[in-house]
Structures are given as C-alpha cells and as structure tokens.
Amino acid sequence: MSNMNKNTTHTIFQVGQKYPSCENGIWIDFKDDTFLFVIKDEIWTAEELNRLKTSDVTVSFIQKGIIDAFILEIFDCLEASDLPFYAKDGDTEFIEAIKSKNLFAFEIVFVSGNGEIVAVRHEVFDKEESAALHERLQKRLFEETEGSMFEATYEKLTSRFEPFELLEFAVFTKNYSLRKN
C-alpha cells in the first residue's frame, strides 16, 4: 500500500462501510500487506471523532521473549494499547507477506457499536521498519513454539507490565502525523 498521489491514500476499509462482525475492544488483523488495528466502541463522541481524524499516532513494534506486539497510542484519544499476535497463526497471505520484501503498512479502523466504520487512518512503514518486521517475523516462523506457549507467556507478560511499560522492548517506535481521509 503506498500513496497513489500526494492527496490520495489507498485504504483497505472506507468510512461508512460496515465492518465484519466484531466485539467491542481493540485487536489486530492483516490484509494486503497491511496490519489492521481495529478499535470498536459503542459510541464515539464528536470530540473523539475529531481526535481520531487529526491526532498524532505512535506505533511501536515490540518483541519480548516469544511475544510480538504493536503498541498503539493516539494523542489525547487512546492510551497505550497492546496488540499482540502469534506469527505462526497467520494465514497464507500473512506468511507470504512476511517472506516478501514489500513495504508493510498499518491501518487504524474505528468501528461504532452498529458496526459502521467512522474513521480510518492509514500509513506506510518506511523501508527500515518494514525490513525489521520481515527479518524478525521470518525468524519467528522457524522457532519451536506453539500457540498455547504464546498465550501463557502473553498472560505472564501482561500481568507484569502495563502496555506503556512494554515500550522498553521496542524494536522501533514511530510517530505519525496522519492525514485526514
């Protein structure tokens, strides 16, 4: 995913579109070389919507033991939230993307209680960040771990650390001043 021109950014999801069925909360998905950070809440106030569309976003990729996660922060809107994922659980598209040399992107999708997308933010990781993701996630595919080990380790990690405290394990941290869509 890259800028098609200076003023237009391709996004996976569009404002007004219905998001596939999901519960309230925050989680991660992947599509078209893009990490999808989905945030669903019953009600978004006008002030929150304005912040979603204009506030800076900080994204960090962390590794701690066998845990991979993104830490997402949205200035004046969302405190540090962790988005863990187990690379070996990825579908074929995700595994192939890890093995490719394509740039990765991320998209923050804000979903209302009725499943409507109310805001979308999209940005492309730079060459160095994408290379770090490719290198580190490719190594994960060859480690001898199982999903149950990941879950148990993640539970231990979150019992010891708040999401903002995980930033000390960041492989990279990047602040993005995101454009309005």
With a cut of 50, list the residues of the chain below it in pLDDT: 1-8, 179-181
- On whether the CB atoms of residues 167 and 71 are closer than 8 A, the answer is yes
Q: Do residues 133 and 62 lie in contact, with contact meaning Cβ atoms separated by under 8 Å?
A: no
Phi/psi of residue 41, each to 5°? -140, 150
Q: What is the pLDDT of residue 137?
A: 96
- The answer to whether residue 60 sits within a structural domain is yes
Whether 84 maps to a domain, the answer reads yes
Predicted local confidence at residue 105, as pLDDT: 95
pLDDT score, position 178: 55
**Inside any domain, residue 36:** yes
**Which pTM was predicted?**
0.88
Question: What pLDDT does 9 receive?
Answer: 61
Could you tell me which of 14, 24, 1, 10 has the C-alpha nearest to residue 119?
14
Q: Is 148 part of a structural domain of the chain?
A: yes
What is the spatial distance between Cα 161 and Cα 62, in angstroms, rounded to a whole number? Answer: 13
In a domain, residue 95? The reply is yes
Q: What is the pLDDT, as a whole number, of residue 109?
A: 92
Which H or E run contains 30? strand 25-31
Q: Which domain holds residue 32?
A: 11-176
DSSP 45: -
- The answer to whether residue 29 is domain-embedded is yes
18 vs 59: CA distance, rounded Å = 25
Task: Count structural domains, the chain.
Answer: 1
With respect to residue 141, please indicate whether it lies within any of the assigned structural domains: yes
> Is 181 a domain residue?
no
Q: Which residues of 87-115 are buried (b: 16+ CB within 10 A; e: fewer)?
A: bbebeeebbebbeeeebbbbbbbbbbeee
